[in-house]
Amino acid sequence: MTDLLHTIPDFPTKLYTHLIPSLEKNLVTTTDLLTLEPLEVARRAQLPLLDVKRLTKHVLASLQSQLGLPNAKEALRNYEDHQPADQQVSILRQSGSAIAERWSAISTVDPNLDAILSGGIATGYITEVTGESGAGKTQFLLSLLLTAQLPPAHGGLSRPTVYISTEHPLPTTRLSQILRTHPKLSALPPEQKPSLSRIFSIQTPDLESQDHILTYQVPVLLARHKVGLIILDSITANYRAERSSTSTSGAALGLRSSQLIKLGHHLRTLAREHNCAIVASNQVADRFSPLSPPPPPQRHLIGSSPPPSSTSSPSSAASQGMMPSLDAALIPPPAPNPPPTHSYPHQPPLSSSPYPPLTLDHQQNFFTGWSSGPLPSSSSSSSTRPSQQVNQNLKTPALGLVWTNQLACRIALIKEHALSLPAVETEGGGEESGGENTSKLWRRYMKVVFAAWGPSTGVMDKGTEFEIWGGGMRSVVGKG
pLDDT of 378 reads 36
CB 287 within 8 A of CB 395: yes
pLDDT of 316 reads 47
Distance set, CA 327 to CA 330, 333, 335 (Å): 5, 12, 18
Closest CA to 42 of 54, 63, 269, 268: 54
Using the 8-state DSSP alphabet, how is residue 456 labeled? Answer: P
Predicted TM-score (pTM) of this structure: 0.65
Radius of gyration of the chain (CA): 31
pLDDT of 376 reads 37
Cis check: omega of the bond before 176, within 30 degrees of 0: no
pLDDT of 151 reads 93
Which phi and psi angles does 279 have, rounded to 5°?
Answer: -120, 125
Which phi and psi angles does 126 have, rounded to 5°?
Answer: -100, 125
- Where does 31-186 show beta strands of DSSP type E? 105-106, 121-122, 126-131, 161-165
Sign of CA dihedral 282, 285, 286, 292: negative
Residues contacting residue 72 through CB under 8 Å, at least 6 positions apart: 61, 64, 65
Measured at the CA of 152, the angle between CA 178 and CA 273, to 5 degrees, comes to 105
CB 207 within 8 A of CB 235: no
> Parallel, antiparallel, or unpaired: how do β-strands 464-469 and 442-451 relate?
antiparallel
pLDDT of 464 reads 92
Q: What is the C-alpha to C-alpha distance for residues 314 and 241, in angstroms, rounded to an integer?
A: 56
Q: What is the C-alpha to C-alpha distance for residues 419 and 416, in angstroms, rounded to an integer?
A: 10
pLDDT lower than 50: segments of the chain: 81-91, 300, 309-329, 339-351, 375-391, 420-439, 480
Span 342-389, pLDDT tens digits: 443 343 444 455 677 777 777 887 888 887 655 333 333 333 333 334
CB 400 within 8 A of CB 387: no
CB 400 within 8 A of CB 240: no
What's CA 243's distance to the chain center, in Å? 19
What's CA 18's distance to the chain center, in Å? 39
pLDDT of 380 reads 37
Span 178-228, pLDDT tens digits: 999 999 999 999 999 999 999 999 999 888 899 999 998 999 999 899 999
Within 68-157, where are the H helices?
72-77, 84-88, 96-102, 111-116, 137-147
